[in-house]
Structures are given as C-alpha cells and as structure tokens.
Chains A and B, each alone.
Chain A
C-alpha cells in the first residue's frame, strides 16, 4: 500500500517535472505577451483522407490563457452529426507553473443542443471546459474525429486576433492521386510536400507569430486572422460524387442534389394559376405568389442528415406550410415554375457582420442561407420572411457573392450593394413650446430600407396598444403624453411611415429667464470610435444611410431669440453633415442632413474617420437660446 503510494507520487512528480518546460507560462518569451489574450504553445492538426469519401482528423493543442478575454478559449467545441463523429476528446489544465491541475474525464464532456422551439437538428456540439481560477494557465486538448463523406474541410485558423503562436503545424495526408486546392490567407507560408508509399503529405509549418491586437470594427470574419483554406476537388457525400474544382461544377453538384424536388400537387398548381390569372406583368405574378408564401408559411428548421444541403420536397412545404430557407426557397421556385417563371436557388452567407470571403482559387461552399433569384427580372427573393416586400434583401444578404444553382451550372453573382439612397430617413418635426417649456411635438417620418425594418416588424408582430408602449419606451426623449401614433408600412416597397404627436416635459432646459432648445434632441446623431493612437487593424464600417430632417420650432409667447446655431457643413468620403437654421418670424426652421458612407480604410486613417464623426456629433449638439422679454 505504502509502496504503491510512493510509485504514484513518483509518477506525479516526474510528470510535473516534465510538464514544467512545456506548460509553464514562464516559458513564453516576453514579446508574445503583447496584445495577446492567448498563446498557442504548440499545435498539430492532421487531416487524413482514408477513403475517397472518408477522413480523420487528429489534433493536439497546448494553449496558455493569459487573461479574462482569453478565457473562452479554455472551452473546446466539436461539432457532431450523422457524418462527423468525435472519437475522442480529452483535455487537461495546468497552472501558471506548469503543474497539472486536472485531466478531463468522460463525464466532463458536455453537449449543447438546440434550445429554440422553431428548430430541430440531429447534429450537436460537444464541448469540454477546462477553466482554472488564476491567470495565466495552460490548457491542452486532444481530439480525434472521423468524417464520412465530405465536401468541406474546416479552415485551419493559424492565428486569431489577440493570439500569439509559437509553433503550429497543419498536415493534409491523402492518397497520391487525391487533389485539392488551397489558399493561405494573411500567410505566405508554403507547404512541404512528401510522397511515399502512395501517400502524399502536405505540411504547413508556422512559428513565432506575435499577436495581432483585437481592435473593434476590423474587417476580419469571426476574429480569424491568418488561415489556410482547403478546397477538395473530388467530393462525395451520402454516396453522391461531385467535382468542386470551380464554382460552376460546385453549383452543378448542388443543383443535382436538389433537382426534381419541386413537384406540387395538381390542386396546388391550380391554386397558383388562379393567383396569377389576372396579373399582367411577370413582376405582378411574382408579387402575388410571394405574398401568398409570406402570409401562409412560417420558418421552421428541421435538419436531419444531408438536410443541411438538400431541400425538403416542395410537396412537404405545401402540406405542412412550413420549412427552412432551402425548403421555402425551393417551394417558391416550384410555385413560380407553375406560373411559367424561371428562378434559381442561390446559396449565400447571411449576416450583418463581417463575412467569410469566397476565393476563386479555393472554392469552398461557405454558406448558411438560401435565397431565390429570378433571372428574367433580376430580382432576389428572401423566402423566410413573413413581412418584407418582394425583392427586398436588407443588410442581412445584400452586397455579397451568392452561388446560383442553375440547370446549366453554378454561377457567382453578387446581390445588390446598398447605397445611402436605399436607407433613408426623411422627417418633418414641429415643436410648439409653452411658457413653461413644455413641448408639443408632431413628427412625420418616412423610413426606407434597413431603417424601415424595425417599424415594419413592430407593427407586424404587435397590436396598437403594445406598439404605443414600445414606442414610448424606445423613444430618445422622455414622453409625458402620447397624443397620437400611427405606423404604416408599404406592401410593395421597403418603406414605413411614422406619424406621432407627443407632449414632452423636459425637451428644453430652463435657467432663469432663458430657455435652451437642443435642436436635435428628437433625433440626435451620435457616432463615435474609441480613441486609439496606435491602431493596427484596418477599419471597416458597413453602415450606410442618409437622414434629412426639417425641424420647425415655434417660439413660446413672451420669448425672443437670443442665439441660434450658425450654419455648418462638413463633408468627406465618409459622409456629410449639413445644418442650416433660419428664423421666420416666430418660428425657427432647422434643416439637417446626415449621410454616412461605408468605411474601408487602412489603420493609418483611423483617426481621420474618428475625428470626422466627432465633429459631426459635436455639430449636432447645437442649441437655440431663447430669452424672456
């Protein structure tokens, strides 16, 4: 018994001693702490193609977590589905001196499933959390996965923002005849290729990469900085073979996968023909069918097996009146087909933040959404919405590449890019003031594009009483009384109209015999970037919009104008600000224009943009001073 304890103790000691050098945070050279939240000490990932449609991955990573910002990296996530299985997932955590604190047990692996009520998925995330209470500490993960049938290899992210890398190796092992394309992103490392015994091993080695700081408003998708993208040429999934050497072939594969799933019942075909019977133009026909889709179907996502890439049959959606993006797009396509209108499903990456890039040199179907394209009308249709007018995309899918699945082959086409003219706010506001400074404000506002969406959604989901409550709660100004509120959205174009009449007690501030009226309190312009004199990353801002506001301020009885803002005009490639004030007898009219353009500039120009916004914001804070006579 005693001997056994001694052996155990010795083993532990030995392990700790050997651990010291590898895992102790003190082993990290000082320059890798700068800008870093985590440091990859060593990492090896091997992707092995075992059969034409089977692969294995084996990964080992040792990473030091330096601070709170890096703590999320102490959890390791793996996706699991019918096609991908996690064979083993092990973790360990070491303290700052490199002493082993804990090794994971099987029961430490947790699963993360879908908790939402509108989706069912047969896939899941497995994860292992190896946190320790004192920074810095080091985690180690070892993962083995098998993949059956694949057409996408996960990007090898060499370096994330805020991460230093000491040593990292990525290998693709495949039979000699197996071919794939690859592209290095923000990395010019060339692989070493070795062939022996019918096996080709391609290895990229990375070493000593100091961290690139994580700064806000950068252009990189998902904080991924340097990476290697792998695009297999011959693919196979669920027994179907395909060629992904370019977008054309890839599109053809997905087209074939989804072909002949657009049959509607005779009854439904008759319904569609009835819908378009009296419609003269193609666009009118599309609108009628699109409205039918929106008003009778809902988004429900059921993902089983290959269902991630193959649509449910149109007949399924016809019967159930629900489906996911692919199923609803395919169903819309089926209805249009009955009406004699050609349309193609397009796969796309949807989202309002940074997007993953698509590269011709390494075509990879990096997508999460499907929409529909009508070539004859050059019209895009988002088929999962219950509210938007036909042809409206919004910042969720506009201005990016989509892969069209046409009967001939795949085609890359970009969705329309939004301009400031697409996202407008035009308002006319009248402010009447009494001697106490209590304001009665009437506003008429027209919104279009992205700016109109919240109003469309609000009235689509809430009835008037709730709409009023929400309007009051979200207003920029404290409303004392809501006298009138009317919100309408257009059926045919992306536009909403807002009319309101409110009483506001504290719109103006009073001081002795003066009254101060901030000219933009009803709809202030505020935009700022944090101060940073040492910006490293490029700056990217996607917002694009234009406001035009006319504010009429009626002077209260017994007050005269003491001061009002002089005109202001600021303009640059980043936007425009213009404010003019005119007194017309007892009324002051303020006309303000704001235009914000998308920004994509190098770090060197960060402060230029920052100062521009600051100047706009400052100019917008102007006030009118009234004095009692």
Chain B
C-alpha cells in the first residue's frame, strides 16, 4: 500500500461564516500498481482530496500516510512526500515559467540538489516519456509550443522528479481529440511500462472506461462508491443520481439488451461492443 487515508475530514475557512466541509470522513487505500479513476461532479471534493495526497493541504482531522510518512506529523518530511507523489494540476501549462523547455523540466530535479548529469538524464528521459523530441525542443521557449505540447512539458516537469504516484487532475481539459489521445496514450504507457501508480481525475466517462482498473466516486465531500471499473459502470442509475453518467457505448448496450437482446451490457469500449455484437448478430442470423 502506497497511500493510506484514514477518517480524513477537511473544512475550508473553519470558524467563519464561510465554513464549508469539503471532505467528510474519507477512508481510502491506494495500492502500488493501481490505476484509479476519480470521478464526481464539480464541487464534490475531488480537487481537495487530491491536494491532500502530497501534503499541499493538511487534514483538519484524520490521517494521510504516503509510503509510511504521515503528512500532518511535525517531523513528516513533506519534501519527500512531494517527490513520491507527483501532482499535475488542471491547465498545468499555466505554471510554465522558464526560458527553455530544458530549464523548465530541470527546475524540480535541480532543487533536489542532484548532480548535473543526473538532472540531464532525468530531463531527457522525462521528455521521452511524454513524447517530446529532446534535441529539437530542449532549447525552445515553452511558450512557443502548441497547447498539447506545453501540457506535456508541464507533465515532464513532474515526471523528472521520479514520483511513485502520479496524480493528474483533468489532464485533457481544453485539448482537442488528437491532443487528448496523445496525452492519454502517454499516461497509459507510463502505467504499463514504467509501473507508476496513477490517479486520474476526469469528467469523461469514455476516457475513464478506456484506461483505469478502479474507480472512486465522490459526492458532496464523501466517498460514495468504490470498485472495479466494470462494477461501477454497471450501476448506471446510481451514477446518474449523482449527476454522472456512463460511457455512451455502455449506455447503448444496456438499452439494446433491455429490448430483448441477450448481450453482455458491461462492455466499456467500442472495440468490446463490436466483438460482442458481431458474435450475437451472427448467432441470431444463423437461427
């Protein structure tokens, strides 16, 4: 287990007229090698929870333990926590600031006091991981790049810290389909090839369905559902009650089944639906 959250409560502006309970008794365990989708509509507490994972916020009560370190204990080493858990915010490209792509990505590792050679190899590797050409782009200004490229520079900056857990808050917001597929493809590779534990916050049920193996659902500061991807998307009515949905393709298969066609309605991708339907339609055709 890499992250353990116990009875976590968080209150914004305590003891003022603006007091608001943002997290309400959250209990959660993240295992190494998990790929978790965190969903919930705006204001459900997702971002507040995410900011607890690397000590940016400290619990009002309860505990967050990252790889054995309690983020709220006095001797808890937050620097170490932030190295273990890399956090990519929404629109991370707004945080780029250096003159060159290289310097921007090198900023974190340099601050760790690493040797020049180590910084160099980390920058190079991080750029490879997000699919940015090292030789061509390292001396370019990050501000001259396309939106999708800027975002990948920002993610590379986090990866250069070699985190064990990567948390991404809506990494595809505002990108076009091509940019989105590029980023998601890279994230999947990080998971599969680098073995990084990933927590993905997203509003797109289609993206969640395609990628993650576990889902956590937040609602009004509470963790209301938790389970494997298929298991969660089987509960369409419950998700709709929470203002969420299921992938369009899953919705189609459910509706099709309810009209008397015995198909597997737990499919999550177009690819799966195609296989299932071809089997079913051919069988039906032969009767």
Q: Do A and B bind each other?
A: no
